[in-house]
Structure 1
Amino acid sequence: MHTFNDAADSYVAHGGETRYLPRLIERFGPDDVTTVTPVAVRTAAVELFPNASPATRNRHAITPARAVLYHAHEMGWRMPARIRLFLAPKTRVTVPASRRWLETFIDRCDADNLPHLAACVLLMNLCGARVSEAINLLGEHVDLRERTALLVKTKTSLNSLRYMPDHLVERIRDLGLAPGERVFRYTSRFSVNERIFAVCDRAGLPYKSSHTVGRHAFATNALNAGVGVRVAMDAGGWKSSTIFLETYVSTVDAGRVVRDRFNAIHHSDQF
Structure 2
Amino acid sequence: MLRIGAVSYLNTRPLVYGLRERLEGLGSLTLDLPSRLADDLANGDLDVALIPSIEYLRGTGAQIVSDAVIACRGPVWSVRLLSRVPIANIRRLALDEGSRTSAALVRLLLADQYDLHPETIPLPMETDPESVDADAVLLIGDRAMPPPTGVYQEIWDLGDRWCQWSGHPFVFAMWIAREGIDAQPLAKILAAARDEGVQNLESIAQQEAGSHGLTSNDLHHYFTDNLHFRLGPQERQGLHIYQQRASELGLISQAREFHFCSAS
Q: Scaled by the length of structure 2, what TM-score is found?
A: 0.27
Of structures 1 and 2, the one with the larger relative CO (CA 8 A, separation 6+) is: 2
TM-score with structure 1 length normalisation? 0.27
User: For the pair shown, which has the larger CA radius of gyration, 1 or 2?
Assistant: 1
Richer in strand (by share)? 2
